Each structure stands twice: as structure tokens, then as C-alpha cells.
Amino acid sequence: MEVRVLIFADEATSQKLYTMLKDDDIRIVYRLYDENEVLDQISKTRPDIVLVSSNNTNLLLRVCQQIYLLRPRSTPVAIIDDYNQEIIGKIIQTGVNYILPLQIDNYTLVAQLKGIYTNESTRLMALESTSITNWKSKVITVFSSKGGVGCTTVATNLAIKLAQKKRKVAILDFDVEFGEVAFIMRVDTKNTIAELLQEQPSPNADAIRKYMVVHSSGVNILAAPSSPEYAEHISASQTEKIISAIRTHYDYVIVDTSVGFNGINLSCFDASSMILYVTGMDLATLRRTKMGLSILNSLVGNEKIHLLVGKEEPSRVKIRDVSRALEFPLWKSIPFDQKLALEAINQGRPMVLESPLSKVSRVYQDMANEIDESDTPKEEKEKAVGFNLFSRKKV
């Protein structure tokens, strides 16, 4: 075991921690106390753990949040002198789960860091291995950096099209403040993710499925809380565990997310096989999308990201210019049919059910075909080809 550690602290604290971490299994890769350099140094030195300590609470919180959001492969550990509940609560809100007192002794500090390293390494390995354990188990996260572009519409309609291909499909509504999957699909939501986690903070697959409702299409739905006030009680680690627990029970798990790079969304990105980044066509949305793509690329790489226009409508920017403006390939573009969209909302039937022969429905069918075809193992494709060849009727 070699635990690579970067220390962010003032000179006196940094020297103290450096002296305390004299251990054969721990390697100090860098020490600094410059907020503007910390992310670059993490990229260069690739530490497993970043110790963050500062008497300036605001600086401590900013650095913790930057590391958590933008360098998810390195685990931030806050070292604080004033070990009170108010400061601990603020640190936890940044996404940091590990907090230690500055008064800790050498032996305990070394043991704690080794334990954190083991826990986080196991977690990352589990996330990476589950993505290839079963070819049918695929997590698709639908995300945008701006609201109103059609994320929930994409999530629900794609889920139905995949279900129509006889696949087992679940939707997790992780827009925990203002999720609308249940409303769009008109399902009863007496039980939501809020009730689930109140009953079982760390639920298993069987418990989760008891709180899901089944749409007439066969799609299983875990609804968002009925009120935004419940959102603060739902953590990124809990949503990560929900995905991990149920993915082996479904061919596809589609996650509808809120806007922005919050902790829950980051946990979804890590667990995802594919991220559908939905954009609009107006200049303001394209500007946000370009910035968001840059951040997302730094977090997960380009391979997972599929860019699509959620509502292709007349605007100053032509569809052929979207990819050029964003410097990223456009995967799909969904036509905007205002009349159909209004009818779907009023009738409580997603567009692919309300008008299955429409242009909109055909695009979703293409998306489902492409996603499902890419998941089919080579041997199954060959069997299908062989079956088609030998099952043709003679003329």
C-alpha cells in the first residue's frame, strides 16, 4: 500500500502534519497554501488524499468544495482546530465526508488515512467494475447546465422506448428539489425517495423497489420528494448507493438530474455508463453548455458524453452550427412540436405514447435502438444475423 497525500495548510500546520505522517505506507507528494494552485497541483501529483486545514473557515470551505467537485479522484479530508457542530455541518455541505481534529495523535492520524484510502479505493473499484459486470446493466444520466431544455422529457420518453424493446427499465428522479418525472408520467407518488431514505438511510435493492411505482409502459419510477424541503436530507452517498443497489435488477437505469454540478450529480456521473448532455439552441444556453462540457470532460472524459439538442426549433443558431459552436460532436437533435408537447402534458402521456408515429417519436426510437444495439454482445448479434439468414421464406 502507498497512500499519496497532498497537504494544503499554512507553514506551521503543514510542517506538523508532515512530521506526524512519517510512515512507510504514506508518501507526501506536495505541500502548499495557495488556493489558486491547489487544483493544478492535484492534477500534476495525483494524490489519493488531500489534507485541508485553515483557520480561515471560508477558505477551508472553498478549497474543500473545489476538490470535491473538480477533482473527484482525490479525497479531501478536512483537519480542523475548532471541532464544533456548526463548522462540521458546513464542511459536510461541501460534499466532504471525512473530518478530523487537528489535535489528533500520530498513530490515529496514520490509521485514519489508511482506512480512508482503503474505503475510497474500494468504492471507486466497485463503481468501475459494475459498469462492465453485466452487459445489460447500463446507467444513463440525463443532465444539463440550464433548465428548460427538456431533460425530463428526454429521460421519460427514452425510458419508454427502451421498455418497448422488452427491456427492464427504471427511472430515478434525482432532481430532489423540483423533480417532475412522476407528474409527466402521471403516476401516484405516495412514496418517494424521501420516504425511502427516512425509513432506511442505506437501503438495499428490495427496499428501494418497494418505494418505486410502475408506469403503464412497464417503466419503474423512484419519484423525487413531494416538497423541496426534503432535499437537504438526501446526500450524494445515498443516491450513489441507490444506483449501485438496483442496477443489477434492470437493463437500463435512467437518472434525471437537476441543473448544475452538485454532489448528487457528480455521484451520478461516476456511476454512469453514458451521460446525455441536453442543450438548447439559443446563444445563452449554448454558452452555458460549452462551459459545462469543459467541466464534465475534465471529470469523466469525452467517451461517456453524448450531446443532444432537446428542442430543435427555429432560432438564430442553425442546427448545423451547434456542434461547431460547442466544439463537440452532436449525437441527436429532437424536433420541437409545441402542439404535441402541450397535448402530452395535458393528457399525462409522454410524447412517444401520445403520438407514436410522429417525428419526435421516431428520433426517440432511433436513440433507443442505437443505445440498445451498442449493448448487445457480439455473440448475440451473430446469432440474430444467423437466425435472420436461415429463417427467410423461400420465394
pLDDT score of 315: 64
pLDDT score of 311: 84
Rounded CA gap, 319 and 35, in Å? 40
What lies within 8 Å, CB to CB, of 177 at 6+ separation is 224, 225, 228, 231, 258
Rounded CA gap, 102 and 99, in Å? 10
Mark out the alpha helices in 134-226 (DSSP H runs): 151-163, 181-185, 193-199, 205-210
Q: What angle do CA 349, 355, 356 make, to 5 degrees?
A: 105
Per residue in 253-279, is it b (16+ CB within 10 Å) or e — as a string?
Answer: bbbbbbbeebbbbbbbbbbbbbbbbbb
Domains 3-129 and 138-374 share a fold: yes
Neighbours of 69 (CB within 10 A): 18
Residues of the chain scoring pLDDT < 70: 123-124, 126-136, 315-316, 374-395
| Nearest residue to 195 (alpha-carbon basis) of 182, 184, 185, 186 | 182
Task: Write out the CATH class of domain 3-129.
Answer: alpha beta
| Nearest residue to 131 (alpha-carbon basis) of 237, 253, 266 | 253
Integer CA distances (angstroms), 11 to 29, 35, 58, 213, in order: 16, 14, 19, 56
Rounded CA gap, 13 and 8, in Å? 9
Greatest CA separation for the chain: 88
Residue with the three cell numbers 464534465: 296
What lies within 8 Å, CB to CB, of 45 at 6+ separation is 4, 6, 29, 30
pLDDT score of 30: 96
Rounded CA gap, 363 and 369, in Å? 10
| Boundaries of every domain in the chain | 3-129, 138-374
- Its pTM stands at 0.65
pLDDT score of 128: 57
Residue with the three cell numbers 437533435: 333
Nine cell digits for residue 106: 500520530
pLDDT score of 150: 87
Contact between 310 and 153 under an 8 Å Cβ cutoff? The reply is yes
| Nearest residue to 268 (alpha-carbon basis) of 242, 291, 248 | 242
Residue with the three cell numbers 437537476: 258
The CATH code belonging to domain 138-374 is: 3.40.50.300
Residue with the three cell numbers 471525512: 98
